[in-house]
Amino acid sequence: MLRRARRVSRREFLKVSGISLAGATLLGVSGCGGGGEEGGGGDGEEIVFSWISDDTGVLPELIDEFNEENESGLRVRFREMPSDTGQHFDQLRTEFQAGQSEIDVIGGDVIWPSQFARSEWIVDLSDRFGDQEEFLEGPMQAMRYEGKVYGVPWYTDSGLLYYRQDLLEEAGFSEPPDTWEELQEMARKVTQDAGIQQGFVFQGGEYEGGVVNGLEYIWNAGGNVLEGDRIVIDSPESVQGLRTERAMIETGTAPEAVISYKEDESHAAFIRGDSVFLRNWPYVYSLLGSEGESNVEPEQVGVAPLPVEAEGNQSYSGLGGWNFFISALSEKQDQAWEFIQFITAPEQQKTNALDGSRLPTRTSLYEDQEILDSVPIARLGKETIIENTRPRPVSPYYSDMSLTMAEQFAASLRGSVSPEEAVSNLQRELENIAERGGEI
């Protein structure tokens, strides 16, 4: 199938040539990774693969590799989608509802399969996908709908606490915080001692990432959204979770601006060296130390599970991750599968782990010494992180549930509704969605 030559990674290449990743994007070096240039497969067919622009630079590298080295002559053209998951989802939904899309392979969020499968926008992969047992159970479960499998997991995501180990040590703290209260205290001392602007940054915007952050505060205070198929969000624990999130701003631990932050704004503040703590996904680790973009080196940073409300509570992180689906409108489903097999193979997942600091979905890679040595998040990965991840509610109506959670969590964080009102509004609205849909 593929001959894999040793290649300089795109990140290394850009470093060697002195171009920063941000500059490269402006110059158009990235974005359409691999799709734009001629050559490689020659007269082969083309398939269209849609995903977001990859901050880590790994995806263009892998697409180029596929285009240059696959023997069937198939070429993949990359189509860039909005990096905000909700906007990304809306764009796909518009195309599918119109029955028209050029996309063959969809790079899709872990929260989409039930809705996409129920709407028949993606195809059942059960007959093609033979090695399912080699993948982690959490991400695999998210790919199933009514007993069939609709996607192949690429990498899995888990919310993490990044912290400035160097500054914590200088301020006399030898361990990261276990509770949100400790985080606030440490942030107060370290910002003063080190003269750093911000204590903590996270994703507080009114969008999908804000939903995951809000849920993490609720879960880490002992609350939940669903119990079986019952909505249970209106609880004192959920109120406490949202109160703690709001307190981050009230106490000045987080800047007021977090109410509009998504992944990019929050990681930018941290890698610039402007914040002591950051809640984000594993990819941020690979951005540390990149020339022209980061003032913070990986050696200065520690990574830990998210803090909890009270000592002894279990720490939960939101399960995220990206997967490959085949569009039901595609006339090139065999070719789409050929590309999916390539990009989810152990070798490509390993590249994604080493160069993109992303958690593999193939279980065996958690025993790969090279990954364990160079990606600290993978060491943390299997035991502490992956087992602590919790899925967002799995439902064909998730996109509606998400919109209402995004709205209420953001309003509570801004202080325009109280945490009590937010969870009681959510209880009512989520119950309405469940009633309308008949099930959750």
Q: Which window, 21-29, 316-324, 336-344, 412-420, contacts ligand GLC (CB under 6 A)?
A: 316-324
**Residue 175 CB, nearest distance to ligand GLC (Å)?**
27
| Nearest distance in Å: CB 111, ligand GLC | 6
Site string for ligand GLC, 151-180 (x = CB under 6 A): ------x-----------------------
CB of 378 to ligand GLC, least distance (A): 16
Kindly tell me which of 85 and 240 has the beta carbon lying closer to ligand GLC. 85
Q: How far is the CB of 402 from ligand GLC (least distance, A)?
A: 9
* Residue in 112, 163, 277, 281 binding ligand GLC, rule: CB under 6 A: 281
CB-nearer residue toward ligand GLC: 65 or 109:
109
User: Do residues 197 and 272 touch, judged by C-beta distance below 8 A?
Assistant: no
Which of 109, 355, 368, 407: binder of ligand GLC (CB under 6 A)?
109
User: Does residue number 208 form part of the binding site for ligand GLC (CB under 6 A)?
Assistant: yes
Between 216 and 309, CB nearer to ligand GLC: 216
Per-residue binder mask for ligand GLC (CB under 6 A), 115-154, x = binder: ----------------------------------------
Q: Is residue 278 at the binding interface for ligand GLC, with CB under 6 A as the rule?
A: no
**Region near ligand GLC per CB under 6 A, out of 93-101, 106-114, 215-223, 235-243:** 106-114
Ranges within 75-104 binding ligand GLC (CB under 6 A): 85
Asked whether position 60 contacts ligand GLC by CB under 6 A, the answer is no
Binding mask 238-267 for ligand GLC (x = CB under 6 A): -------------------------x----
| Interaction between residue 209 and ligand GLC (CB under 6 A) | yes
Neighbours of 127 (CB within 10 A): 8
CB of 208 to ligand GLC, least distance (A): 4
Instruction: Give the residue, chosen from 58, 103, 212, 377, that forms a contact with ligand GLC under the rule CB under 6 A.
Output: 212
Assess contact for 344 and 154: CB atoms under 8 A: yes
Q: Is 110 in the site for ligand GLC (CB under 6 A)?
A: yes
Query: Smallest distance from the beta carbon of 170 to ligand GLC, in angstroms?
Result: 32
Residue 109 vs 400, nearer CB to ligand GLC: 109
User: SS3 sequence, the chain?
Assistant: CECCCCCCCHHHHHHHCCCCHHHHHHHCCCCCCCCCCCCCCCCCCEEEEEEECCCCCHHHHHHHHHHHHECCCCEEEEEEECCCHHHHHHHHHHHHHHCCCCCCEEEEECCCHHHHHHCCCECCCCCCCCCHHHECHHHHHHCEECCEECCEEEEEEECEEEEEHHHHHHCCCCCCCCEHHHHHHHHHHHHHHHCCCEEEECCCCCCHHHHHHHHHHHHCCCCCCEECCEECCCCHHHHHHHHHHHHHHHCCCCCHHHHHCCHHHHHHHHHHCCEEEEEECCCHHHHCCCCCCCCCCHHHEEEECCCECCCCCCCCEEEEEEEEEEECCCCCHHHHHHHHHHHCCHHHHHHHHHHHCCEECEHHHHHCHHHHHHCHHHHHHHHHHHHHEECCCCCCCHHHHHHHHHHHHHHHHHCCCCHHHHHHHHHHHHHHHHHHHCCC
Question: Applying CB under 6 A, which residues contact ligand GLC?
Answer: 85, 109-111, 157, 208-209, 212, 263, 281, 320-322
